[in-house]
Structure 1
Amino acid sequence: MHHLTTLNLPTPPAREDERRGLLLQVAAFLAGGGKIERVPHTERAPIVPTSWNTSISRNKRARREYQRQRLELAERIAELALVETDLGPIRRTPYEIYQALKVQGIRLNTVIVEQIAAQHGIELRDDGRCRA
């Protein structure tokens, strides 16, 4: 039991005294008209509404870095958007650009590709909705 005393953990006899004290307090509570409700462990607390705010809006350097990264992504998307073929230039879809960026190690989804293209006036081919 040496390890218990060096860690200052309660010993079994001390816990028994605490249990008796707790039972006396519960008995006094019930005698005073109190009620104990048993709640199942599966009950969860209600979700507290929060607002999403990134540090980008609070930090000028972070915002500028974010804008610089978005501009670099827009340049890459513009380079990938147009493919020259023997029959002439063909525009790529957001999904095709997503796949090409993924090969380069850039992880975006098609929605972000569409948003960046729209913000920078990059025209893409629309072949329906193939989302990734």
Structure 2
Amino acid sequence: MKRAYLTTAIALALSTAVGCSPASNEQPSAAAENEIWPKLNLPVKQKPAMEQRIDELLAKMTLEQKVAQMIQPEIRDITVEDMRKYGFGSYLNGGGAVPTKATPKTRRSCMTMLPLSWKVYRAMLPKTFWMNVMS
């Protein structure tokens, strides 16, 4: 029994030591990663000035701001304070969702505050507001 315990302890210690060894300094090649993607010949060409502006905006943004740009909360699940605090990239009003508990006063307040929340956002990125309308 002691021998099995000792063998297990040694194996665990060795595997831990191997796992703690320094990582390789080799960086993956961007060229190798790009080889798997198809080359597209699009009619819309990149505009250098626009690409530079995008790079400048991204350089100013924190990781938190970049993540917030990829989130699209539904309007009934957030407040104007959330809009200001997190700087979401877009908002969805769909599927019967109504903003802030559906009273006319709070709806009007929310719709008035949407543009104001965008102006407060530091990076001044454009926002989108989606409404799913079923007829």
**Which TM-score bucket, shorter chain as reference?**
under 0.3
TM value normalised by structure 2: 0.24
Compare relative contact order (CA 8 Å, sep 6+) and give the higher one, 1 or 2: 2
TM value normalised by structure 1: 0.24
